[in-house]
């Protein structure tokens, strides 16, 4: 693993260590905050002792991160502007990462100190929105296009609706328990608080089956929290590694030849789709997506400028993709895209160039080790650009349902070797989240268990909230 960091300069290595510490601290504070969601009810209904409840929550958070996948990780990441994501190893990209982490850590620490059960997800998403809008103002670009607006609306709706859904569902469960679980003295115990039950029965613990339900629901909340919130830390760490140590992390260096061929096939299929649906791409190009003029000093790109590719051959580009007219390589590729040193811009008007360049780099490729660092970075940019274009075309009104599914599958294949996470990163985030869960839980749990309601929590109320 350590060989992936070889060649880093001292200041880059220091920046990497700081950024990784920032992410892990963010995850630990996330654990401080969100443990209360799982343990407050089981502690205040006396279903489990606090130490045992917190230990159980920590273990299940750890397992949730390990088994949760990466879909949430990159859903959050893709709220950022495409240009920042594509050029994450630029100075702007690194400034973006540190700004997000610092804002999230400061707010989470402050709310934890005062015992406020604020959402770490809200904080992170707010930081990402701030980064996107600031980037638009600094670069004089459109504020509307600064963020992935459809995804932003989707996430905002989920954040706004989720408390209402919890309120209604928990209320309905308590209502039905009152209506249908109060016929006998034994059943009515579920509606007692621990203090009331101690007065009546001399016991503070909930009835057996109620206690089992409380413990299992708390375990489910802990596991799902790890599977969801742990992924955000994984996504942030990957952004850090891609930005600071691109040689080892800009693409998955453990990718098999089969997976590379799968990615190459996806690019080929998208090229065919482009040929067959050229009108949709023209329709999708807005006024803000006119190609930027290239400086006169920029040399044209040619296949000969690809170091290390001569021995492996260069695939030919189908003339059908460009309207049937044969073209020279220097004509096919926009010099602005071909440059590996300047900022890469991705829009619908340039997708053909991105497709052709990706096919040249991926042709006859069995391992990413065959590419140098610049080429790996460029492969990532090209694949992300093509995938982003597929996503835009899928959202056009004239795109059929069948084509939407086809483009969604293509997008997964295009990003398979780009959106990944090594196991050691997943374990590091899982440990940070679980240890944070077991250390700093008390402040927020006290707020939820003692300060929100004016009366003690009944077993039925705790169970309903957990469910």
Q: State the average pLDDT for the chain.
A: 77
Q: CA 384, CA 283: separation in Å to the nearest integer?
A: 21
Q: CA 418, CA 440: separation in Å to the nearest integer?
A: 35
**What is the percent of the chain where pLDDT is above 70?**
78
Average pLDDT over residues 154-177: 88
Q: Specify whether 334 is located in the same domain as 225.
A: no
> HSE on the CB side for 449, CA within 13 Å?
22
In this predicted model, what pLDDT tens digit does every residue of 312-326 receive, in sequence order? Answer: 443 433 333 333 333
Q: Specify whether 272 is located in the same domain as 191.
A: no
Identify whether 370 is part of a domain.
yes
Confidence of residue 450 (pLDDT cuts 50, 70, 90): low
Q: Specify whether 174 is located in the same domain as 314.
A: no
pLDDT at 153: 80
Q: CA 383, CA 408: separation in Å to the nearest integer?
A: 14
pLDDT higher at 419 or 318:
419
| Alpha-helical segments (H) within 245-277 | 246-249, 257-276
pLDDT at 288: 44
- Alpha-carbon dihedral of residues 322, 326, 329, 332, nearest 10 degrees? -20
Supply 384's token pair. 């992300």
Supply 242's token pair. 């891609």
H/E stretch holding 459: helix 459-466
Domains identified in the chain, total number: 2
Cβ pair 83, 346 in contact under 8 A: yes
Q: Specify whether 268 is located in the same domain as 144.
A: no
Task: Name every residue whose Cβ is closer than 8 Å to that of residue 375 and which is 6 or more positions away in sequence.
Answer: 306, 307, 308, 309, 340, 361
- The candidate with the shortest Cα–Cα distance to 96, out of 240, 286, 250, is 240
Average pLDDT over residues 333-352: 55
pLDDT at 282: 67
pLDDT at 186: 79
pLDDT at 343: 59
Q: Specify whether 349 is located in the same domain as 439.
A: no
Q: CA 152, CA 142: separation in Å to the nearest integer?
A: 16
Q: Specify whether 138 is located in the same domain as 215.
A: yes
Angle at CA of residue 290, ends 284 and 295, nearest 5°: 150
Identify whether 42 is part of a domain.
yes
In this predicted model, what pLDDT tens digit does every residue of 390-401 receive, in sequence order? Answer: 888 888 888 889
Identify whether 2 is part of a domain.
no
Q: Specify whether 210 is located in the same domain as 260.
A: no
Q: CA 148, CA 87: separation in Å to the nearest integer?
A: 16
Identify whether 329 is part of a domain.
yes
Q: Specify whether 402 is located in the same domain as 259.
A: yes
pLDDT higher at 71 or 173:
173
In this predicted model, what pLDDT tens digit does every residue of 37-69 receive, in sequence order? Answer: 778 888 888 888 888 988 898 999 999 999 988
pLDDT at 406: 94
C-alpha 20: how far from its chain's center?
A: 16
Strongest mean pLDDT among 87-101, 258-272, 378-392: 258-272
Identify whether 194 is part of a domain.
yes
Identify whether 365 is part of a domain.
yes
Q: Specify whether 238 is located in the same domain as 197.
A: yes
Q: CA 384, CA 394: separation in Å to the nearest integer?
A: 15
Domain that holds residue 109: 10-247+422-466
Q: CA 122, CA 131: separation in Å to the nearest integer?
A: 14
Average pLDDT over residues 130-135: 80
Q: CA 110, CA 105: separation in Å to the nearest integer?
A: 9
* pLDDT beyond 70 at 451: no
Task: Name which of 49-63, 99-113, 116-130, 243-257 the model is least confident about.
Answer: 116-130
Full-model pTM: 0.75
Identify whether 263 is part of a domain.
yes
Cβ pair 282, 127 in contact under 8 A: no
Cβ pair 433, 65 in contact under 8 A: yes
Q: Specify whether 184 is located in the same domain as 166.
A: yes
Cβ pair 181, 207 in contact under 8 A: no
Going from the C-alpha of 395 to that of each of 364, 389, 390, the distances in angstroms are 33, 10, 9
Give the sign of the dihedral formed by CA 264, CA 375, CA 237, CA 98: negative
Ordered DSSP codes for 70-110: SHHHHHHHTTS-HHHHHTTTSHHHHHHHHHHHHHHHHHHHH
pLDDT at 179: 86
Task: Name which of 25-39, 182-196, 364-378, 435-449 the model is least confident about.
Answer: 435-449
Q: Specify whether 274 is located in the same domain as 164.
A: no
Q: Specify whether 230 is located in the same domain as 288.
A: no
pLDDT higher at 318 or 345:
345
Identify whether 267 is part of a domain.
yes
Ordered DSSP codes for 365-420: ---GGGS-HHHHHHHHHHHHHHHHHHHHHHTSTTS-HHHHHHHHHHHHHHHTTTS-
| Alpha-helical segments (H) within 139-256 | 149-180, 185-188, 194-201, 208-244, 246-249
């Amino acid at each position: 693993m350590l060989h992936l960091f070889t060649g880093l300069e001292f200041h880059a290595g220091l920046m990497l260590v700081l950024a990784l510490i920032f992410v892990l601290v963010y995850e630990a504070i996330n654990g401080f905050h969100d443990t209360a969601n799982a343990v407050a009810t089981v502690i205040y209904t006396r279903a489990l002792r606090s130490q045992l409840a917190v230990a159980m929550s920590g273990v299940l958070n750890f397992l949730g991160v390990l088994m949760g996948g990466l879909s949430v990780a990159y859903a959050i990441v893709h709220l950022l502007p495409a240009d920042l994501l594509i050029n994450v190893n630029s100075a702007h990209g690194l400034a973006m990462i540190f700004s997000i982490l610092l804002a999230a850590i400061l707010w989470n620490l402050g709310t934890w100190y005062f015992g406020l059960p604020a959402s770490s997800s809200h904080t992170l998403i707010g930081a990402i929105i701030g980064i996107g809008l600031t980037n638009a103002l600094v670069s004089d670009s459109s504020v509307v296009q600064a963020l992935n607006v459809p995804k932003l609306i989707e996430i905002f709706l989920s954040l706004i609706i989720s408390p209402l859904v919890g309120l209604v569902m928990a209320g309905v469960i308590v209502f039905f328990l009152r209506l249908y679980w109060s016929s006998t003295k034994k059943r009515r115990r579920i509606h007692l608080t621990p203090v009331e039950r101690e007065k009546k029965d001399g016991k503070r613990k909930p009835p057996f089956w109620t206690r089992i339900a409380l413990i299992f629901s708390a375990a489910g909340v802990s596991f799902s929290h790890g599977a969801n919130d742990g992924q955000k830390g994984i996504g942030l760490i990957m952004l850090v590694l891609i930005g600071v140590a691109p040689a080892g992390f800009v693409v998955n260096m453990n990718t098999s030849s089969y997976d590379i061929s799968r990615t190459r096939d996806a690019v080929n299929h998208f090229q065919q789709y482009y040929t067959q649906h050229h009108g949709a791409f023209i329709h999708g190009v807005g006024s803000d997506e006119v190609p930027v003029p290239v400086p006169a000093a920029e040399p044209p790109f040619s296949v000969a400028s690809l170091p290390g590719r001569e021995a492996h051959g260069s695939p030919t580009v189908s003339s059908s993709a460009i309207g049937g007219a044969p073209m020279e390589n220097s004509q096919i590729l926009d010099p602005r895209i071909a440059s590996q040193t300047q900022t890469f811009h991705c829009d619908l008007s340039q997708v053909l160039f991105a497709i052709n360049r990706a096919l040249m780099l991926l042709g006859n490729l069995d391992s990413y080790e065959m590419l140098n660092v610049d080429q790996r970075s460029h492969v990532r940019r090209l694949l992300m650009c093509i995938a982003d274009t597929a996503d835009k075309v899928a959202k056009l009104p004239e795109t059929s349902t069948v084509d939407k599914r086809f483009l969604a599958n293509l997008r997964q294949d295009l990003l398979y070797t780009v959106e990944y996470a090594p196991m050691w990163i997943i374990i590091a985030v899982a440990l940070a989240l679980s240890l944070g869960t077991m250390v700093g839980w008390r402040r927020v749990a006290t707020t939820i268990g003692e300060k929100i309601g004016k009366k003690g929590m009944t077993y039925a109320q705790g169970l309903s909230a957990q469910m």
